[in-house]
Amino acid sequence: MITGIKGIRLRRATAVAVTSGALLATGALTAAPAQAVTAPTIVAKGGFVMNNANAKTLYGKAADTRRSTGSTTKIMTAKVVLAQSNLNLDAKVTIQKAYSDYVVKNNASQAHLIVGDKVTVRQLLYGLMLPSGCDAAYALADKFGSGSTRAARVKSFIGKMNTAAKNLGLKNTHFDSFDGIGNGSNYSTPRDLTKIASSAMKSSTFRTIVKTKSYTAKTITKTGSTRTMNPWTNTNGLLSSYSGTIGVKTGSGPEAKYCLVFAATRNGKTVIGTVLASSSIAQREADAKKLLTYGFAKLG
């Protein structure tokens, strides 16, 4: 009888010890320091990730090396438009032949805007950020630059983009185009682009646009009728393939290769970053996913 009780007690004591050990082990795992997360390897030549709440760096690879940015330039285009005083998003802009000639000449990505149509500023911003329309970018630069000629207005608008970069304290960014089709002096860095995007994301209009997967614009034709445009689809594949993605913008080009400025929110925390000069569309997305997952792991 005594032996039986002793045996039961012994077994209970062992069970408690094993359970405590398991708890200790689990505790040790959950309390692992954030630094213990292994930094990922990415194909992109440059990468940067930060905590959007306080701009604390979470990852960097050639983060301050200047590179061609492709259409990620359009983040600044949108930021400058949205910063205009007394901005009326419903103001109408008439599409000029110069805009369509420009995209044809440069074989550029476009929103397929139709000459003579009246399109609102809001619609132009969707056309700029979702299908990456260089025609929409041209229309916005022409509308919001100052000067008596189109060339002067475009030059003035690009000047505003550079002033905005300077005001953000960016030392490695320069724009010579409104859309990323540069003339040899259009560059930024993963760190700078991330800061531009973080600043742009302060605008609720910008946030709404860049997380939209598809948008159908209704424009006014020359004769006053309504034209329903073909839907504009967001070129940012992360919106469909990475949980919590809230933006931001793709970019590509012969020099820029494949770029992506990205942001995602999970458990109330937002991670934002950039990859420049990756090797393909699929690869820039794979790089970005690795960096987002790493960023969230670092934040714990």
Q: Point out the residues that are catalytic.
A: 71, 74, 132
Give the CB-side neighbour count of residue 29, counting CA atoms within 13 A. Answer: 5
Q: What is the distance between the alpha carbons of residues 229 and 243, in angstroms, rounded to a whole number?
A: 29
CB-based contacts of 116, cutoff 8 Å, min separation 6: 94, 95, 221, 222
CB burial string 33-60: b at 16+ within 10 A, e below:
eeeebeebebbbbbbbbbbbeeeeebbb
Q: Quick one: how far is CA 280 from the chain centroid?
A: 17
Contacts of residue 171, Cβ cutoff 8 Å, sequence gap at least 6? 192
Q: CA-to-CA distance for 244 and 264, rounded, in angstroms? A: 5
As a whole number of Å, the CA-based R_g of the chain is 25
Nearest one of 160, 199, 205 to 178, comparing CA atoms: 160
Both tokens of 261, joined, read 């400025």
